[in-house]
Structure 1
């Protein structure tokens, strides 16, 4: 398969037409059309349905684009390095992050990143569900406690306790079995009891759900406003524990939050991905990093828990 024709096909598919692809690439429309026709003839399938106003990828065309767009980007980056641009961080970086992370820590991290790497255009998508970085074209997917997979590699940049955070008006019950007002995630399962690890002594309470929220940020704001007790990451509540705006009842035994930066398990990892993950790692306490050698060697390993 001719790589230049494949690259032209991906350019046309990305921009949705020959005219837009020609303006973006500087290649004449007639050349793009001819190369695409030659690629279709070589493969023996139609890749794009040509309409009078718009183009549409066929099923085979969509499959080819999904499987090759990242390869074309990687080949271009390798070419730049071979040509003497080794270490240059540039291009578009698409990142998927969950809502809690997006609305708390990410703004500062991204601001520092674009300041340090002005040749990188960052696009952030806020998604609480897991996304496929290949088919949805994300360079990095940030998730908490993701399911193991052999298709991705990544680094755990934050490990944290889960704690019971409560407004000051609610004292921790002194006896087991007491009922407490609870603010919970809507997608979670209801618990008949909570075990609180506090000062080496477990305490059992019975959560009474008073509010269900669709996101952890809503849970946090509701608890801060006095609605009830909730389970949340320690890093989120720690500043309020320090000021007295929230009270730390204790930790959730046997449960932790592991935040991962995941990307595709290819042999080549672009400088922009390495740089962004390195900045995530540097943004958090070194004691919480799972792989302290990552910053020095940027070594990759399959994602597993």
Structure 2
């Protein structure tokens, strides 16, 4: 059934004629008449008895009007609410984010976001695996150096970089040509025997000699600050220790680490997702990821 035709039938019935309905709605009498006729043909019954001066609803027309007037009003309200939603972020917003970023920044940022958008109910799930936004019902995800994915779009909102760092008590390698310099190291479970760490610009390469394997970057940071060895870590989580002299940097490693906020589609993007993307990008106007001040 054509809902537009049903809406026009109700309009004509409410105003008691095609002429009055035309003047009230701005639609032509011919259009209203054709829509009602199409509805009658689709249903296989006459809904209106047309007279020269007035019209009367048939028994079928009266029954249809009675049964559909309330539901059609609800449909109109739902459409209006959806249109209003284009300007007002509201509803539940599920976001997946890496564990470290969640622990270091998202509590602070989430509080700021809901203060700006009180009609949004924000749920953040800390998970290092690349969740499936559609199958797992997420609205957005924060990812580090994401792989190209034709189903996702988004923006890079901040950058970090990896530094090779250690406590001052750990001997820093000197330039030694092509031969890796063996050093005691604190590594993550992803480390594989034989991996080497290179400092940017080819200053030197180290051959990690694992003394600890820890599953959290924060544990790695605390272990090297206690003198356990060297480690490759994001600058954002060791910045304070570097400034305080508890750690020293041996150099910058590799390319920048990019933090992206991703969602499923740019077309008809929901207001709550659009607001979250804009909010995340506004938090790092200089482009560098820093830990919020507590």
Decide: shared fold, TM above 0.5.
yes
Is it true that 1:193 corresponds to 2:196 in the alignment? Answer: yes
Aligned to 1:139: 139
Deviation at 1:174, TM superposition (A): 2.4
> Could you list the runs of 5+ residues in structure 2 that have no partner in the other structure?
4-76, 290-294
Distance 1:231 1:160, change over 3 A: same
Aligned to 1:283: 283
Deviation at 1:205, TM superposition (A): 2.2
Is it true that 1:230 corresponds to 2:222 in the alignment? Answer: no
Contact 1:99-1:217 within 8 A present in 2 as well: no
Aligned to 2:185: 182
What does 1:114-263 correspond to in 2, within 5 Å?
Answer: 114-176=114-176, 177-197=180-200, 202-253=203-254, 255-263=255-263
SS in 1 for 2:138: coil
Between Structure 1 and Structure 2, whose CA radius of gyration is higher? 2
Number of corresponding residues: 213
SS in 2 for 1:238: helix
Inter-partner Cα distance in structure 2 for 1:242 and 1:77: 56
Deviation at 1:266, TM superposition (A): 5.0
Inter-partner Cα distance in structure 1 for 2:90 and 2:270: 9
Deviation at 1:207, TM superposition (A): 1.1
Inter-partner Cα distance in structure 1 for 2:249 and 2:78: 48
Aligned to 2:73: none
Distance 1:285 1:172, change over 3 A: farther
What does 1:85-124 correspond to in 2, within 5 Å?
Answer: 86-124=86-124
Aligned to 1:53: none
Contact 1:196-1:250 within 8 A present in 2 as well: yes
Deviation at 1:279, TM superposition (A): 1.9
Contact 1:167-1:224 within 8 A present in 2 as well: yes
Inter-partner Cα distance in structure 2 for 1:192 and 1:229: 14
> Could you list the runs of 5+ residues in structure 1 that have no partner in the other structure?
4-75, 290-305
> Normalising to structure 2: TM-score of the pair?
0.65
Inter-partner Cα distance in structure 2 for 1:244 and 1:190: 30
Contact 2:217-2:233 within 8 A present in 1 as well: yes
Inter-partner Cα distance in structure 2 for 1:205 and 1:98: 28
Q: Spell out, residue by residue over 1:134-185, the C-alpha distance to the aligned partner (whole angstroms, 9 max, x if none).
A: 0000111111112111000011111222111212221312253432111112
